[in-house]
Amino acid sequence: MNRTVTSPLGHRRGFVLTLGGLLVVAAWAGSFGGPFVFDDIAAVRENLTLRDWWKFSELLAPPAGLSVSGRPVANASLAVSYALSGEQPWGYHAVNLALHLATAGLLVGVVRRTLRQPRLLEKFGAAGDEIALAVAAVWSLHPLQTATVTYVMQRTEGLAGFFAMTTLYCFLRGVEIERGGRGWRVCAIVACALGMGSKEVMVVVPMAVFLYDRTWVAGNFAAAWRARKFFYSGLAATWLVLVVCLLAKGRNGSAGWDAGMSVASYALTQAEAIWCYLRLAVWPAPLVFDYGAELSVNYAAVAGVVALIGATAWAWVRRPLLGCLGFLFFAALAPSSSFVPVATQTIAEHRMYLPLAVLVTAVVLSGYAWIGKRSLWLWALVALAGGVGTWVRNLDYRSERAIWADTVAKRPGNARAHFNLGVAMSAGGDDAGARTEWTETLRIEPTHVGARAKLAESLAQDGRAEEALRYFEAAAQGGRSDGIFMNNWGSALLSTGRTAAAMEKFMAAQARLPKSAQVQFNVGNALVALGRGAEAIEAFRAALRLLPEYWEAHYNLGVALSGAGEYAAALAEFEAALRLAPGDESARRNVTSLRAYLSK
């Protein structure tokens, strides 16, 4: 039986936890006004499964190509946010922060119960509560966590962290009451299964719990297996959940050995990534929203990581506490920072969400072992400084333009960042600035199809149709063929007098977007130019059936009807256009002239 050590903080723990929670909320308060960015937009606004949460078969099978594809638990959690705030971001930020707070609370429980284990009790038990709170405070307020908590779609990482911590916490509770701990062990297995349905990084959790058991509870792997073989069989069975999720609709080859990226190059790049994460853990600046997909081989970094792994193996024998923490750190990073390529991002700060907890624990325990309780005041100051840094970092997320401008400033060679900054600038009305960013995108990545298409559309809208057509052609050669693109391409062709070619593009757009009023409207315009007035009239009417308030369609239908001699019908259309656009002088003149003509 474990010897109990009473902490002087015991009776004040609730107050300290509440105060810490309020500090975390204050640090992230600024994130609630932040918009959706990057993958958030598709995962929320284009994800129709969130609307009807009671349709579980759809909710648990999100569409392919999203950040939540193949992650049914994460998708279900987004439905909770949708129920809170619809498409307003605050509900998504609120759930992210709630998960972060819950994970911090679990971290307190895991650390303090770990320090009660017989091998650690004498050395750390007297200050177990204080150490646990210091670890959780530094971890939860660290600016590096904004990559997971503030960025909505890293809900997947937050959920994986929460369920991983829940699994370990429930295991510890079950160990404390071994004979009556079946319920806790069942909860651990359920939490692990839910984590597998949240993100693939959970794959290491069963092995991590087994390693933890071997080090601090059972003493060796054989004893851990003999004592809890049914429990570990249950944890291993949760891998089946992950297999099912991976076989479901995926994310279009964004990760895995079929992601189109060299395994060796990716693995070597991760050495530099790990050093980047360690540096940011110590000094969280500069923080970068998107590092891009570049591969970088630094053999000095590789040698350094090999040395770290060697030191961890040495510590495993001579300093079991640090050795176990070292292996847990590398294990937590292994799914995304080893030899399994993640093609969309070779470096990503959110991958440090759980590994940072291991790292902070190691540092706090080392400080306590070195200078005792005086070190805990230092961590209080570090946590407060981290909270201020987190609050400041959240200012960068205040708008899409701000976060992408910050990313471009820190990673000027990131083509994707320049492209997305251009999109944000265009949405804000800065078309010239957007074109500059898309041009820079193509300088860095000449085959970037999105930049070609955006430049084409922007130039066409600016009246530079001939220049735009070159980019339309280039984007089409790169595989762009969606309905909006084809419609815009047709409009540029029509404005330069290439009517037959424009009609071809409009028909292609119509096949892809049969319910688009704008496409029907453009088909009508092309038919007018081709002298097919009767067909044009039907096309304009089709556009108005789809969008009755489309005043330009009313106006052009009036022109077509007038050309066909149907003056009364034309007048009705011009009047409708004038009601919808009272300031349009052309519609007003046509109404006046037709009324005068028909009154004769």
Burial of 102 (0-12, 13-18, 19+ CB in 10 A): middle
Instruction: Name which of 461, 207, 486 is nearest 332 in CA terms.
Output: 207
The DSSP symbol for 4 reads P
CA atoms within 13 A on the CB side of 72: 21
Place of tokens 């939540």: 68
Helix 155-176 × helix 353-371 angle, to 10°: 50
Which contiguous run of DSSP H or E holds residue 123? helix 118-124
Q: What is the DSSP string of 466-534?
A: HHHHHHHHHHHHTT---HHHHHHHHHHHHHTT-HHHHHHHHHHHHHH-TT-HHHHHHHHHHHHHTT-HH
What was the pLDDT predicted at 15? 64
DSSP bridge partners of 255: 342
- Looking at residue 584, its pLDDT comes to 92
Which runs of consecutive H residues, i.e. helices, occur in 8-117? 13-28, 39-45, 56-59, 72-85, 90-114
Nearest to 539 by CA among 556, 521, 551, 554: 521
pLDDT of residue 11: 53
In this predicted structure, what is the pLDDT of residue 320?
A: 81
For the chain, how big is the Rg over CA atoms in Å?
30
- Write out the two tokens for 343: 């093609």
**Model pLDDT, residue 412:** 96
What is the enclosing helix (H) or strand (E) of 126?
Answer: none
Q: pTM surpassing 0.85?
A: yes
Low-confidence ranges of the chain (pLDDT < 70): 1-17, 178-180, 249-261, 339
How does pLDDT run across 172-190, given as a tens digit for each residue? Answer: 999 988 666 889 999 999 9
**What's the CA gap between 373 and 378, in Å, rounded?**
10
Distance CA 18, CA 26 (A): 12
Best CA proximity match to 383, nearest among 138, 79, 51: 138
CA atoms of 529 and 427, how far apart (whole Å) = 32
Q: Which domains does the chain have, with CATH numbers?
A: 13-395 (no CATH), 516-600 (1.25.40.10)
User: How many beta carbons lie within 10 A of that of residue 409, not counting itself?
Assistant: 12
pLDDT of residue 52: 79
Phi-psi region of 61 (alpha: psi -120 to 50; beta: other; left: phi over 0): beta
Report the distance separating Cα 440 and Cα 421, nearest Å.
11
Chain centroid offset of residue 338 CA = 21
Decide: 193 and 241 in contact? Cβ < 8 Å.
Answer: yes
Distances (CA, A) of 256 to 246, 247, 306, 343, 348: 10, 13, 23, 8, 16
Got the DSSP string for 526-591? HHHHTT-HHHHHHHHHHHHHH-TT-HHHHHHHHHHHHHTT-HHHHHHHHHHHHHH-TT-HHHHHHH
> What's the pLDDT score for residue 81?
95
